[in-house]
Amino acid sequence: METLLSLRGLSIAFGGLRAVQDVSLDLAPGSLTALIGPNGAGKTTLFALMSGFLKPDSGQVWFDGRDITGRAPHLNARAGMTRTFQIVQPFATQTVRENIAVGAHLHIAGRGAALAEAERVAARVGLAERLDQPAADLTVAGRKRLELARALATRPRLLLLDEVLAGLNPQEVGEMIPVVRAIAGDARAGGVTVLMIEHVMQAVMNLASHVWVLAQGELIAQGTPAEVTSNERVIEAYLGRGTAARLREAAP
Amino acid sequence: MHERLSQRSRDASGRSVALKDVATIVVFAVAVALLTAWLDSGVWLTFVMMTLYATLLAQAWNLLGGFGGQFSFGHALFFGTGAYVQAIAQMQGGFNPWLALVVAVAVAAGVGAVVGALTFRYGLKGSYFALVTLAFAEVFRILALSVGFTGGGVGLMLPLAESAGNMQFGSRKGYIALMLGLVVAALAVTAWLRRSRFGAQLQAVRDNEDAARAIGVDPWRTKLGAITLSGGFMGAAGAFYLQVFQYIDPAIAFGPQVSVEALVGAIVGGMGTLWGPLLGALVLHTLADLTRNLFGALPGINLVIYGAVLILIVMFLPRGIAGMLDRWKRS
């Protein structure tokens, strides 16, 4: 299979805590997939390992056919892999336009051209009305969009989205899902592969073609959204040991 | 078509903002030049000169501290380097002072690059960065006391040789012209920072380093560029100091006073702004002169009042004087 990103036996421990253990997975170019798992499963740590914010204790990260294990995040962004943060990290003193332009500057040297690009990207994520607002004034939903826009402005080939829907109300989630789909959709023509960490199952079921499930640092299941949500190990990872059996008994 | 039109108008508006900065800098330079030509009181000329000098110190610090968010407590390191190189190049190297100025700026910028390469390489931030820069300045102060070519504790006295070619002017006006040129250069660099890729990346690193890294900004190179620029301008201020006072010793060159003057001017005026350092320098110099003249009979009182006003400004104007003016303009 053709792969864009490939993890080979990735592990990292913090003291006695084995945050990620022997994780291997392959992302096909053009795919929109999801990484799910209970809180503390190591999902964000895995993102940090992929994007170069953390160096693994063992294992490798391959991107576009090259071993990039432990390479600095800005070099990975330059090569086309950009991540967002679960806890949004706006450049608070700057306007929305200026925030997005920093991403655009990765490939655009001129200030005017970068600001114009920022405007186009803002329109794609529904921030066109807020271009001149300071980022600090945005609502949570607005900041999530900004996080996405800034990453998108770097013209990524692989976008790692860390819970862009967390903290949004159902209506805002409903508005955001088409935005994410459109980004991945441009994809098959233009090329954005998306891997999203997501807790909102509505979005996962709606968007992802393939799902990986991480629990206590290990990949415990993978498959289509329907497959993993009926997988006993997954149910137990979320709801506790023995739950799957009890659920079966309770079922008529 | 519509998109292209709107892009063109925006490019034009981007350019017009840049033009506005250039225009204000030109107006400022012409106003100071006219004021200087018109003044003939030595006291006032000294005031203008020292305010411009303090502006350069504050603006140099602002490039790294205000735009880069790296708070140095040891900018005297670059100041002293500039002053000593200016003296030694002339007295021991036989350089013309104008050429010495270029060398002084280059060496101070180089010291900035080395210090930045080391400290940013190891990810020093916040108070750790402040402490390390303070330590570097102290090390240089002790070195200057110990080695021969700096004249040790006696310092270096620049021989008097008054002529423009020697950068020793008969009146304050010559020095003001020189300092005005340096301040305009610093303002121009700051204006460029406000609308360039490098400036955008620098401010992104200041606001959130991890977020900047994730979207392709190299924080090490960005901060290195800022400290190099900052060091160069600080070195120019040191060289200027030497030409005016014709004397330098380790305490003046590398002591904490210059470091504090640089950062206080920028903080009071408004960090990360174009005109903040000038406003800060102006307010602080006015305040210092006023308290000195009003309470000169009670030694120490002027410093107490000066300190109290500083505390008030920092408490009630967290974004400095420029930030306050900006808020007024908007409301």
**From the CA of B125, how many Å to the nearest CA of chain A?**
17
Q: Show residues of chain A in contact with B15, CB under 8 Å.
A: 112
- Does B4 score more than 80 pLDDT? no
Average pLDDT, chain B: 89
User: Comparing B200 with B4, which gets the higher pLDDT?
Assistant: B200
Helical H segments across chain B, by residue range: 2-38, 42-65, 76-91, 97-121, 126-146, 172-194, 197-207, 209-214, 219-245, 250-254, 256-269, 276-294, 301-316, 320-330
* Structure-block tokens of residue A100: 């997005």
Residues of chain A with pLDDT below 70 are: 1, 186-191, 252
Contact B14 A111 (CB under 8 A): yes
What is the DSSP annotation of B199-242? Answer: HHHHHHHHH-HHHHHHTT--HHHHHHHHHHHHHHHHHHHHHHHH
CA-wise closest residue to B108 among B233, B249, B259, B225: B233
Determine contact: A245 vs chain B, CB below 8 A.
no
**Between B3, B6, B217, which is nearest A102 by CB?**
B217
Orientation angle between helical segments B2-38 and A111-124, nearest 10 degrees: 140
CA torsion, ordered B305, B310, B316, B317, to nearest 10 deg:
140
**Is the pLDDT confidence value at B114 over 60?**
yes
pLDDT at residue number B2: 42
Residue-range definition of the domain harbouring residue A198: 5-250
Q: Say whether residue B322 is in contact with chain A using an 8 A CB cutoff.
A: no
Which range has the worst mean pLDDT, A220-229, B198-207, B224-233? Answer: A220-229
Strand partners, A35: A197, A212
With CA atoms as reference, the chain B residue closest to A98 would be B200
Alpha carbon A164 to chain centroid, angstroms: 8
* C-alpha distance from residue A22 to each of A8, A41, A230, A234 (Å): 8, 13, 24, 18
Residue B171 burial (C-beta neighbours within 10 Å; 0-12, 13-18, 19+):
exposed
Q: Which residue of A has its CA nearest to B13?
A: A112
Average pLDDT for B65-85: 94
Burial annotation B271-300 (CB, 10 A radius, 16+ → b, else e): bbbbbbbbbbbbbbbebbbebeeeeeeeee
Asked if B215's CB is within 8 angstroms of A103's CB, the reply is yes
Chain A residues within 8 A of B210 when measuring between CB atoms: 53, 85, 89
A-B Cβ pairs (cutoff 8 Å, strict): 93
Q: Pairing relation of β-strands A193-197 and A32-36?
A: parallel
Q: Give yes or no for a contact between B97 and B166, defined as CB atoms under 8 angstroms apart.
A: yes
Q: Which of A47, A88, A105, A124 best tests the B interface by mutation, with the highest count of B CBs <10 A?
A: A105
Pick from A216, A242, A241, A239: which is nearest to A229 by CA?
A239
What is the reported pLDDT for B16?
60
Considering just the CA atoms, what is the radius of gyration of chain B in Å? 20
Contacts of B58 by beta carbon, 8 Å cutoff, 6+ apart: B261, B262, B263, B264, B265, B266, B269, B276, B277, B278, B280, B281
Which residues, other chains included, contact A230 with Cβ-Cβ below 8 Å and sequence gap of 6+? none
Domain count, chain A: 1
pLDDT at B131 over 70: yes
Lookup result for tokens 């200030």: A111
Query: How far B285 CA sits from the closest chain A CA (Å)?
Result: 29
> From the list A77, A90, A94, which residue is nearest B216 (CB)?
A77
Query: In what order do the strands lie in the sheet containing A158-162?
Result: A81-83, A158-162, A193-197, A32-36, A210-215, A218-223
Is B163 in a helix, a strand, or coil? strand
Cβ atoms within 10 Å, residue B118: 12
pLDDT score at A98? 93
Residues of chain B with Cβ-Cβ distance to A93 below 8 Å are 203, 207, 272
**pLDDT the model gives residue B9:** 41
Burial of A166 per CB tally in 10 Å (0-12, 13-18, 19+): middle
Phi, psi at A108, each rounded to 5°: -120, 120
* pTM for the whole structure: 0.89
User: Which candidate from A82, A102, A115 shows the least CB-CB separation from B14?
Assistant: A115
Q: State yes or no: pLDDT of B137 exceeds 50.
A: yes
Q: What is the ipTM, given to two decimal places?
A: 0.89
Answer whether B90's CB lies under 8 Å from B297's CB: no
**Structure tokens, B96:** 């013309």
Mutation target for A interface from B17, B202, B215, B327: give the one with most A CBs within 10 A. B215
Alpha-carbon span B238 to A90, nearest angstrom? 38
Dihedral sign for Cα B96, B102, B106, B111, please.
positive
pLDDT greater than 60 at residue B226: yes
Name the β-bridge partners of A218.
Answer: A215
Do B200 and A93 make contact, defined as CB atoms within 8 angstroms?
no
Residues from chain B that touch A100, judged by Cβ atoms under 8 A, are none
Q: Do B215 and A114 touch (CB under 8 A)?
A: no
Residue type present at position B267: I
Residues of A in contact with B216 (CB under 8 A): 74, 77-78, 82, 103, 106, 154
By the CB < 8 Å criterion, does B203 face chain A?
Answer: yes
Residue written as token pair 């400036």: B199
In order of A12, A100, A178, the CA distances from A185 in angstroms are 33, 21, 10
DSSP state of A57: S
Cα gap B254→B76, rounded to integer Å: 5
Interface with B, mutate which of A54, A111, A119, A157 (most B CBs under 10 A): A111
Give me the helix-helix angle, B42-65 and B256-269, nearest 10°. 80
Site from A49, A50, A74 to mutate, B interface, most B CB atoms within 10 angstroms:
A74
Sole residue written with tokens 């039109």: B5
Token pair of B72, please? 């140095």
Give the DSSP letter of residue A127.
-
**B11 close contact with A: CB closer than 8 A:** yes
| Distance to chain B for A95, nearest Cα, Å | 12
Contacts of B208 in chain A (CB under 8 A): 89-92
A147 versus B293: the higher-pLDDT residue is: A147
pLDDT at position A194 is 93
Other C-beta atoms closer than 10 Å to the C-beta of B73 total: 21
Q: What is the pLDDT of residues A145-179, one digit of tens each?
A: 999 999 999 999 999 999 988 888 888 888 888 88
**Cβ burial, residue B27 (10 Å; 0-12/13-18/19+):** exposed
- The full length of chain B comes to 331
Q: For the domain that residue A63 is a member of, what is the CATH number? A: 3.40.50.300
Query: Parallel, antiparallel, or unpaired for β A210-215 and A193-197?
Result: unpaired
Cα torsion angle, B287, B290, B293, B296, sign? negative
Does the structure show a pLDDT above 70 at B161? yes
Do A80 and A29 form a contact (C-beta atoms < 8 A)? Answer: no
pLDDT of res. B187: 96
Look-up: residue for tokens 């300071």?
A134
Q: Which of A199-208, B44-53, B284-293, B308-317 has the highest mean pLDDT?
A: B44-53
